[in-house]
Every structure is written in structure tokens, then in C-alpha cells.
Amino acid sequence: MHTPAIALIELGAIFFGLGVLGRLAWKIGISPIPFYLLGGLAFGSGGLIPLEGIEEFASLASEIGVILLLLLLGLEYSAAELVTGLKRSWLAGLVDLVLNAAPGVAVALLLGWGPIGALAMAGVTYISSSGIVAKVLGDLGRLGNRETPVILSILVFEDLAMAVYLPILTALLAGATLLGGLTAIGISLAVVTVVLLLALRFGRYVSAIVDSPDPEVFLLRVLGAALLVAGFASQLQVSAAVGAFLLGIAISGSTAENATRMLEPLRDLFAAMFFVVFGLNTVPSTIPPVLGVALALAAVTTVTKLATGWWAARRQGIGRLGRARAGAALVARGEFSIVIAGLAVSTGAVDSQLAALATAYVLIMAVLGPLAARFIEPIARLAITRLRPATA
């Protein structure tokens, strides 16, 4: 029998273990996401020591984790920055979308997962991990590099694409017809456009509503507003995460900076639980059969991201080393790939193997991305030197 005392012990062990794993990950220079996923696999169904009695809390905590991930992503941008970034990066963004979504679509169709599975896998392979990319650029001292604005503009386009993509995927997973899917596309585009316009003109009023000189009141207002908006968005068949993202865009200035500073620890805590819960719900024995596919997909989408960054940086007149750095920085996949896979599998509308494939894929890419960014420069220098014609 699982008493509250046992549940507290299990949760305490999970949180403490996540802290140890996170510290180990940053110590060796990679994202902690793979470690969190592995922790979930170890203690979930079919794992080493299955944990029971904490499912309800863990499920709710993981939902809050997704909401906070998207809220803080929205807080990073003002509406004006998003519009400017979209104007500058729309062509590179489209190239990124086509090159990196196509491998996921192809794999899903080859595995017989149907159109909805193909749409889900398109998102899994398409979007880079903003969190991992930002961390790597900071650690490597590249935030001031010439290619960094190119990288960030592509990430902005991807984030906006997610604001449209997630409601469409949610509607289709819920069993909407073709007409319903088209309606979802129209609603998604309309909502994103309206929120951007409102944020441009009235963002200061949204900020004023949640702002407070008292830290406790401010935290309660921002978190409460995020959960309310996410809940209403979910009731309207729009992704709860997208609702939180759009709220983040609407909050600007010093209010956004304060909210980011105060919510970051909460985001990290609940996001870690989200990855653990995803691992808990993935049976480890389902991963080996799809590991070969995950490796092939990782190889292909590493090349497509490198090509995306190289092409986008070249259009801005950046040299070869900068182009290589831009492409390598975009390789990492992480939180959003798992968010998409979790959303798809939780409805039962797609093959359960999608979770195993997404887990294996993200485990590979979350490790490969930082390594590619770290070692691309010496590799590129060597390649460029060899390609230069010999001089007398």
C-alpha cells in the first residue's frame, strides 16, 4: 500500500536524483535532458525499480512544466522583435522547415503511422532546442559572433511555427475532420496574428495587470495568469502550451525580465519532472527495436540542420567558419520534440512506438548537438585548409 509518506520519499528521491544528474550533465558540458529521460526510463513501467503512487502529482507537474517552458520562451521576445525576426528570417525559416520536417514525415509513413503520425514526427525532427542552443552559445562565448543573429532568427521562426503547429496537431489528434483541421489552421493563424497585434499596441497594459512591486504577489499573478490562459486555451481545443507562449509575448519590458528571473527555477523544476514523466511512460524494451531508425534519423537531420545554418549564414555574407558554426548550433533537439511526442502519444491516436523513437532520437540529438557545436570549428578549419588550392 502506497501511503503519503511513501509518496513523499519517492518524490524526494526523484528530485534529489534529478539534481545530481543535472549537475553531472552540466559538468561534462551537455544538456541534462538525456539524463532526465534515462531516469524516467529507469523508474517507469518495465524499468529497474518501478515507482507507483505518484502518478497524479507527476502528471500534473509535467503539464505545468510544459506551460512554464512555453511561457518563458514567449517572455524572451517582444512582439516587435518577433515581427522583425520574422521579416528577416522567413525564407531561411521555410528552408529549415522543409529540410528538417521531411525526414520525420518520411520515417512515419515508412513505419505505417499514417498522416497524423507523420505530422507529429515532422515536429519532432523539425524544431531545434532553444534552451540547449542558448546554453551552448553562452558557454562557448559565441553570443557576440556574426552568425548568432542568424541562429536566433531561425529559432524565432521555429517558435512562431510551433504556435501555429501545436493547435493544428491538437485538433487532429482529437479526431477532427479535414474541415476541422483547416478550421484549426485558420484559428491558429488568426489567434497568433491578433495576439501579436495586441501585444504591439497594448502589451504595456497586460504587463501592468500582472506587475507588482511585491515579489510574492507578482509571482502569484504571473503564474496564475499563465495557468488560467493555458486552461482556457485547452478548453477551446487550442494547445495549453501555445496559450502560455502567447501570454509570454504579450508581457514585455521590465515585467518580462522580472518574470523570467523569478520563474526560471520553477520552470527548471517542473520541466525536469516533465522529462521524467515522459520517460516513466515509455517502456525501455520498446527502444531497441527503433534504435537503428533513431540513429539514421539523427544522421540525416544533423546534415539537414548543418545545411540550414550554412545556407542562412551564407545569405548574410558570413564566412565559412561562421556558416559551419551556425549549422552546428542548430543540431540539438530537446524539450519541444518531447512535448510534441508526449502530446501525440497521450491521445492514443498514433502508434505507441512513436514515444520510443522520439525518446531515442532526443537522447542522441541532445548529446550530439552540444558536441557538434563545440567541435565544428576545428573540423571546419581542417576541411577548409585541405580544400584550399596549394600555393607555390
Q: What is the pLDDT of residue 303?
A: 96
Q: What is the pLDDT of residue 181?
A: 62
Q: How far is CA 5 from the centre of its chain?
A: 34
Burial letters 221-242, b for 16+ CB under 10 A, else e: bbbebbbebbeebbeeebbbbb
Name the DSSP class of 348: T
Q: What is the pLDDT of residue 135?
A: 75
Element (H or E) spanning 214, and its range?
A: none
With DSSP H G I counted as helix, E B as strand and the rest as coil, what are the percentages for the chain, rounded to 5?
A: 80, 0, 20
pTM score, two decimals? 0.79
CB 308 within 8 A of CB 145: no
Residue 95 has which C-alpha cell?
A: 528552408
Q: What is the pLDDT of residue 331?
A: 94
Residue 244 has which C-alpha cell?
A: 502560455
Give the three-class secondary structure for 128.
coil
Can you give the pLDDT of all 392 residues of the chain as single tens digits?
Answer: 567 788 788 888 888 888 888 888 878 777 788 888 888 888 766 556 666 667 777 778 888 888 888 888 778 776 666 667 677 778 999 999 999 999 999 999 999 998 889 999 999 999 998 878 877 887 788 878 888 888 888 988 887 788 778 877 877 777 655 566 667 667 666 766 776 677 667 777 888 888 888 989 999 999 999 999 888 877 766 667 777 887 888 887 888 889 989 998 888 888 888 888 888 777 888 889 999 999 999 999 999 999 999 999 999 899 989 999 999 999 999 878 888 888 888 777 788 789 899 989 998 998 898 889 888 888 888 777 776 654 43
Q: What is the pLDDT of residue 283?
A: 80
- Of the chain, the end-to-end C-alpha distance in Å amounts to 82
Q: What is the pLDDT of residue 50?
A: 67
| Per-residue model confidence as pLDDT tens digits over 355-380 | 899 989 998 998 898 889 888 888 88
CB 230 within 8 A of CB 244: yes
Instruction: Kindly list the structural domains of the chain, giving each domain's residue range(s) and its CATH number in brackets, ordered by start.
Output: 4-384 (1.20.1530.20)
Q: What is the pLDDT of residue 276?
A: 83
CA distance 184 to 270: 29
Q: What is the pLDDT of residue 306?
A: 95
CA distance 155 to 329: 11
**314: number of Cβ within 10 Å:** 15
